Amino acid sequence: MTRSKTEIRAEDRLSRILTKVKERDFRLTPQRLAIIRTLVAGTDHPSVDDVYREVREQFPTTSPATVYKTIALLKELNEVLELGFPDGSNRYDGNRPYPHPHAICTKCRKIMDPEISSVDELSEEMKQKTGYTISFHRLDFFGLCPECQRKT
Amino acid sequence: MTRSKTEIRAEDRLSRILTKVKERDFRLTPQRLAIIRTLVAGTDHPSVDDVYREVREQFPTTSPATVYKTIALLKELNEVLELGFPDGSNRYDGNRPYPHPHAICTKCRKIMDPEISSVDELSEEMKQKTGYTISFHRLDFFGLCPECQRKT
DNA sequence: GTCCGTGCAAATGGTTTGCACGACC
DNA sequence: GGTCGTGCAAACCATTTGCACGGAC
């Protein structure tokens, strides 16, 4: 069986996170493992409810509270990026837990993570013109994804 | 009495908005006028509660609901920019109601609006690399403002 | 065996909604 | 005078918290 690059990367991500969890003396429960697996599995920026429904297939008694708590743990470990939206439709990136630009479809809510070259320059320009010490950012671009453009 | 550029601009903003309100056959109540005045008055990106407390000095019976409804009206008229944050600490920009980058102090929450040259190029790069049709954006840079840097 | 994590239920808090009175036009 | 806006209170809903049981170590 051949493996794609993303699958291999996902496994690296998983073991990296599990190591961190153990190092910090957090317990590795089956529920936590399932939640972390789900967050690292795809490139689809799941919501809390997405993760909850996925994990509940393995652990039918799992509660949303546990998902929230595990995500809070991963945030503390800097191993998940939270994309909070003011309407409460929050999404999570378990693959690239550092700030980076997102393209967000206003219709189907699909999120993409392109590699963008000029982010550092923009950050530097902000620093110069405001005097702020920029430590992180949030860059969202909204519009229609290719698929939703076709359907219109 | 001399007037600064920002004062003159604020008056232009006000009359522009009032014209739009009347054109669309919305009623110009004293409460609405006070709320709109507060939103275009300063450059300090007030919260709903900031506006509420300010307006309540003139109209002690004003309720938060009225402030929310008026802000919703202004959003529909594209005359206020909402900076929603997932923790509920939403802020409003009545001076530049179009998307633009913000520098946000993580300590005192002060927000600045520098003129940034390379936004259009970044937007274009996103469009090229994702195939999305970018129609608006949200660009936030977080760090310490000059004042909070000194206090640290 | 200890203590942390889970899962249920209740609390939280900014925002929205329903409704009756009052005011803009 | 008709209808929209106001203001009060209740509803809303994702998330957080309290607590007792059960499981990781």
Query: Which residue numbers of A have CB closer than 8 Å to B's CBs?
Result: 82, 84-88, 90, 101, 103, 105-106, 112, 114-119, 121-123, 125-127, 129-146, 149
* Distance (Å, whole) CA B139 – CA A71: 24
CA dihedral A15, A139, A128, B144 (to 10 degrees): -70
Q: Which of residues 66-125 of B touch strand D (CB under 7 A)?
A: 66, 69-70
- The reply to whether A144 Cβ lies less than 7 angstroms from strand D is no
Could you tell me which chain B residue has the CA closest to the CA of A140? B138
pLDDT at position A2: 58
User: Are A130 and B117 inside 8 Å of each other by CB?
Assistant: no
Q: Which residue is nearest to nucleotide D15 (CA to C1')?
A: A68
Contact B123, B137 (CB under 8 A): yes
Domains and CATH numbers, chain B: 5-93 (1.10.10.10), 102-151 (3.30.1490.190)
Which residues of chain A are within 8 Å of residue B131 when distances are taken between CB atoms? 145-146, 149
pLDDT at position B92: 97
Cβ contacts below 8 Å, chain A against chain B, sum to 133
Q: Is the model's pLDDT at B6 over the cut of 90?
A: no
Q: Residue B54 contacts by C-beta under 8 Å, 6 or more apart in sequence?
A: B34, B38, B46
| Between A63 and A117, residue with greater pLDDT | A63
* Per-residue pLDDT reduced to its tens digit, B107-142: 999 999 999 988 999 999 999 999 999 999 999 999
Which residues of chain B are within 8 Å of residue A111 when distances are taken between CB atoms? none
Contact B148, B108 (CB under 8 A): yes
State both tokens at B73.
């009206």
Task: Report the first-to-last Cα separation within chain A, whole angstroms.
Answer: 39
Confidence of residue A4 (pLDDT cuts 50, 70, 90): low
* Distance (Å, whole) CA A152 – CA A146: 10
* Per-residue pLDDT reduced to its tens digit, B22-77: 999 999 999 999 999 999 988 889 999 999 999 999 999 999 999 999 999 999 99
Averaged over A61-67, what is the pLDDT? 97
pTM value is 0.92
* Per-residue pLDDT reduced to its tens digit, A71-130: 999 999 999 999 999 999 999 999 999 999 999 999 999 999 999 988 999 999 999 999
* Per-residue pLDDT reduced to its tens digit, B79-108: 999 999 999 999 999 999 999 999 999 999
pLDDT at position B91: 97
State both tokens at B54.
């300010």
